[in-house]
Amino acid sequence: MKINVLGVGFDNVTMDEAVARGIELMEQPGFHYVVTPNPEFVLAAEKDEEFRRVLNGADLVIPDGIGVIFSAKLLGTPLKSRVPGIEFSAGMLAHMDKVGGRVFLLGAKPGVAELAGQRIKEQFPNLTICGTHDGYFKEDEPVVQAVKAANADLLFVCLGAPRQEKFMAQHGPELGAKLAMGLGGSLDVYAGVVERAPERWQKLNLEWAYRLKKEPKRIGRMAKLPLILVKAVKARLTGGMKEEV
Ligand code: UDP
């Protein structure tokens, strides 16, 4: 059963459970996709019905962002833990390394995916980076064909939300991959272009604050985040979040 946080249904999984589910999905026939919603996604999905449908149509919905965890708690349906997309992706890469799988990296500014590929290969030498492509393209079709031709097992889709989720849902099986994962700015982190918060900040659930410190221009985007908590309290008080998603 999914945990409904303001209209988005989350899987109630720990990091290990999420990776185990991801591996299971890769072993099943057909195409599957994973989404990693944070509070910004949830607020955007309230206004964008297609985005909400695409999030709820994913095979695995992992809670990325402490605001989602707090909201679920306020709603009276707590989630087990935060599952940062970047850590989930590292777990999936470790599996690819173990089985000698093929990974395609799509997204970020020109050159970043290649650099991320080199870094990933240093850490996971037994997997194959079967292709890369930047995320600043106008037409989807040539990119879909490039991914398909690369015959990937696992596909990173790092175009920012909601574009990455809509891309996975729209092109799905055409991509030829077993599993696609929408991972926001992860390629920037793998490439070393953007640093993740030090562990101390992560442990204090202050990763968002570190990001704000590094990229002050995010203040506009972040200012509306407390809204998710207010909405969660309101939904709890009016008993409005009981329906299944
Ligand atoms: N991006 C992209 N194509 C675009 C817009 C963004 O590939 O048209 C990339 C951008 O370079 C960045 C990622 O998508 O690497 C999104 O980063 P953001 O910080 O918005 O994502 P978050 O990690 O906050 O989900």
Rounded distance from Cα 236 to ligand 1 centre (Å):
33
Residue ranges lining ligand 1, Cβ < 6 Å:
107-109, 135-136, 158-161, 184-185, 187-188
Closest C-alpha to 135, from 174, 109, 164: 109
Compute the average pLDDT of residues 75-97.
97
Task: Measure Cα distances from 155 to 18, 54, 106, 128 in Å.
Answer: 17, 17, 7, 12
Q: Taking a C-beta distance cutoff of 8 angstroms, is the pair 162, 135 a contact?
A: no
| Residue partners of 201: CB distance under 8 A and separation at least 6 | 207, 209, 210
Average pLDDT of the chain, as a whole number = 95
pTM (2 d.p.): 0.94
Which among 86, 188, 195 is the best mutation to test ligand 1's pocket, defined by most ligand atoms within 8 Å of the CB?
188
Q: The tokens of 79 are what?
A: 């989630």
Rounded distance from Cα 32 to ligand 1 centre (Å):
21
Task: Measure Cα distances from 149 to 38, 99, 100, 174 in Å.
Answer: 32, 21, 18, 10
Rounded distance from Cα 243 to ligand 1 centre (Å):
32
Rounded distance from Cα 136 to ligand 1 centre (Å):
10
φ and ψ at residue 203, rounded to 5 degrees? -60, -35
What pLDDT is recorded for position 208? 87
Residue of 124 and 210 predicted with greater confidence: 124
Q: Taking a C-beta distance cutoff of 8 angstroms, is the pair 3, 77 a contact?
A: yes
Rg of the chain over all Cα atoms, to the nearest angstrom: 17
Residue of 206 and 126 predicted with greater confidence: 126
What is the C-alpha separation between 21 and 100, in angstroms, rounded? Answer: 19
Rounded distance from Cα 184 to ligand 1 centre (Å):
5
Query: Taking the CB of residue 219, how many other CB atoms lie within 10 A of it?
Result: 9
Which among 88, 159, 208 is the best mutation to test ligand 1's pocket, defined by most ligand atoms within 8 Å of the CB?
159
What pLDDT is recorded for position 190? 97
* pLDDT tens-digit map of 209-244: 898 888 888 888 787 788 999 999 999 998 765 566
* pLDDT tens-digit map of 129-178: 999 999 999 999 999 999 999 999 999 999 999 999 999 999 999 999 99
Nearest CA owner, ligand 1 atom 11? 108
Residue type present at position 63:
P
